[in-house]
Amino acid sequence: MWKAALGACIAAQLAVPAIAALQPPPARLGWQMYSGVGSVPDLATAVMADGTTHPASLDDIIANPRPELDWSTYLTRYMCLKYPGAVTVRIETGASREAHAC
């Protein structure tokens, strides 16, 4: 009886991380932890219909930004609500630049 329980424990300890390793990183209970995490955006800019811009640093909005979140979705929603006349939101992360419509 105890051999079966021991075998089940060992199997679980091998199976859970093995399954998590097949998930896209970072996977909960996976070995990769935060190695697959992207970076946090440096700047979000709301572009108004007349061409004026309203830049905002993520540090001004969030106290401790978590790198595992998809900030483009959250920043776009936030900037569109903060600046109702905005037509697009530009998000800059290092050398990467992307634009999202409001």
Instruction: Identify whether residues 26 and 55 lie together within a single domain.
Output: no
From 84, 62, 94, 89, select the one nearest 73 (Cα to Cα).
Answer: 89
Query: What per-residue confidence (pLDDT) applies to 68?
Result: 73
Q: What pLDDT is stored for residue 50 in this prediction?
A: 94
**CA 67 to each of CA 3, 41, 45, 89, 93: distance values in angstroms, whole numbers, following the listed order:** 43, 9, 19, 20, 11
- Whether residues 97 and 52 fall in one domain: yes
Residue 102 confidence (pLDDT) above 60? yes
Please tell me the total count of domains within the chain: 2
Q: Is the pLDDT of residue 67 over 80?
A: no
Give the Cα separation of 99 and 83 in Å (integer): 15
Residue 97 structural domain: 43-101
Q: What is the pLDDT of residues 4-47, one digit of tens each?
A: 999 999 998 988 878 877 777 666 666 555 555 667 888 899 99
**Residue 62 pLDDT level (bands cut at 50, 70, 90):** confident
Whether the Cβ atoms of residue 69 and residue 24 lie closer than 8 Å to each other: no
Which candidate, 44, 34, 99, 97, places its Cα nearest to that of 69?
34
Residues 5 and 48 in one domain: no
